[in-house]
């Protein structure tokens, strides 16, 4: 169902239709349909093993779907993960994907130097080679400005392996944001964080969404997500069992059954 916030003539940022992924005999996700509109924040929730990370992996081209289609801005999603940046898609990984021996600054330089001659990101606020926010094309300056926004500038020369876990999560997030993506995929961003860090995460996501970036996040931390998302999609055993606003989903008995195993009342 199209969200009322999306004007009918704009293509949704991300559109999944009938997506099915199977590994050998096991069907991980089955006929998944949902979309994320421009500027929307959508949360994908569900019990463990529901297939949430598989959805992400399919969107990113890390697994090949058996059926269905994935469209980004109306065009088919790229088959190779390396093309995602060029389409304005950035993703964080549950395991963070950081390299202990590389410094914080170097991590941000990787995606920045990947799009050398082209746009630094197809997303909101990006120009040709000049980054609108900092007014420069120098990757190091752009990276430092992004680190500044995440309170990480002091650690620019620090090897990531020396940082505590919450700081490393912020580095991973900063790396995803530095290319000004138009679609941000966050895989369990609140996992392992305390209340202060979650509040900071919440503020960052709201800021980025406010600038026009679409956000799709997978989360276990239901409270965090209920306050932040425009819409929720609930997955169970690889199928979408409910979608709607946070209030609608919270009231849905099927969701309660999926999480708690309590039989639905009717």
Partner 1 sequence: MSPRILPGLTGTPRLLVTAAALTVLAIGGTFLLDPYRNYQLALVAAYFCATAGLTLLIGLSGQLSLGHAALMAAGGYGYALTANALTESGIDGVPRFLVSLVVAVVAAGLLGLLLGLAGARLSGPYLAGVTLALVIALPAITSVFSGVFRGDQGVQIAYDGVPEALRLIIAVEQWQAWVAILVTAIVVTGLAVIRRGRLGLRMRAVHGDETSARLNGVPAGRVKVAAFTASAVSAGAGGAILCFVTQSVSPGAYTLAFSLLLVVAVVVGGLGSIGGAAVGAVVVVLLPWLIGTAIGAFDLPTELEQRLSGNLGVLVFGALLIVVTAVWPGGLAGALRRRRRRENRMLRADQMPPAEPRDSRPAEPAIPASPASHPISTEPER
Residue numbers of the site for partner 1 (CB under 8 A)?
Answer: 60, 62, 80-82, 84-86, 90-91, 93, 96-103, 105-106, 109-111, 113-115, 138, 140-141, 144, 153-159, 162-164, 167, 175
| 93 versus 130: smaller Cβ distance to partner 1 | 93
| 110 versus 226: smaller Cβ distance to partner 1 | 110
Phi, psi of 94 (to 5 degrees): -60, -40
Strands 26-36 and 14-23 come out as antiparallel
| 30 versus 146: smaller Cβ distance to partner 1 | 146
State how far Cα 112 lies from the chain centre.
Answer: 18
| 146 versus 236: smaller Cβ distance to partner 1 | 146
Quote the least distance from Cβ 111 to partner 1, whole Å. Answer: 4
| 98 versus 233: smaller Cβ distance to partner 1 | 98
Which helix (H) or strand (E) segment is 172 a member of?
Answer: helix 165-177
Quote the least distance from Cβ 203 to partner 1, whole Å. Answer: 20
Distance CA 190, CA 134 (A): 28
| 127 versus 159: smaller Cβ distance to partner 1 | 159
Quote the least distance from Cβ 245 to partner 1, whole Å. Answer: 30
Radius of gyration (C-alpha) of the chain in whole angstroms: 18
Strands 67-72 and 14-23 come out as antiparallel
Distance CA 105, CA 159 (A): 9
Quote the least distance from Cβ 236 to partner 1, whole Å. Answer: 27
Quote the least distance from Cβ 186 to partner 1, whole Å. Answer: 13
Give the count of beta carbons closer than 10 Å to the beta carbon of residue 7: 9
Strands 231-236 and 41-45 come out as parallel
Q: Which of 151, 203, 208 is nearest to 179 (CA)?
A: 208
Distance CA 92, CA 168 (A): 12
Quote the least distance from Cβ 172 to partner 1, whole Å. Answer: 9
Distance CA 180, CA 55 (A): 22
């Amino acid at each position: 169902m199209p969200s009322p916030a999306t004007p009918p003539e704009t293509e949704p940022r991300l559109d999944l239709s009938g997506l099915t992924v199977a590994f050998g005999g096991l069907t991980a996700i089955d006929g998944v349909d949902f979309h994320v509109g421009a500027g929307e924040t959508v949360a994908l929730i569900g019990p463990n093993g529901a297939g949430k990370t598989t959805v992400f992996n399919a969107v990113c081209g890390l697994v090949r779907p058996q059926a269905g289609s994935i469209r980004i801005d109306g065009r088919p999603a790229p088959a190779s993960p390396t093309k995602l940046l060029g389409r304005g898609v950035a993703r964080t990984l549950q395991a963070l994907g950081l390299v202990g021996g590389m410094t914080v600054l170097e991590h941000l330089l990787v995606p920045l130097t990947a799009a050398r001659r082209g746009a630094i990101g197809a997303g909101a606020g990006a120009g040709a080679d000049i980054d609108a926010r900092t007014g420069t094309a120098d990757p190091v300056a752009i990276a430092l400005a992004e680190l500044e926004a995440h309170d990480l500038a002091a650690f620019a020369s620090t090897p990531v392996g020396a940082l505590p876990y919450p700081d490393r999560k912020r580095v991973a997030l900063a790396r995803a944001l530095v290319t000004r993506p138009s679609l941000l995929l966050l895989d369990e961003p609140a996992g392992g964080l305390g209340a202060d860090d979650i509040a900071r995460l919440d503020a960052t996501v709201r800021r980025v969404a406010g600038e026009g970036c679409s956000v799709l996040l997978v989360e276990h931390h239901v409270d965090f997500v209920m306050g932040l998302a425009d819409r929720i999609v609930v997955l169970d055993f690889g199928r979408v069992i409910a979608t709607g606003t946070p209030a609608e989903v919270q009231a849905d008995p099927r969701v309660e059954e999926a999480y708690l195993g309590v039989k639905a009342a009717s």
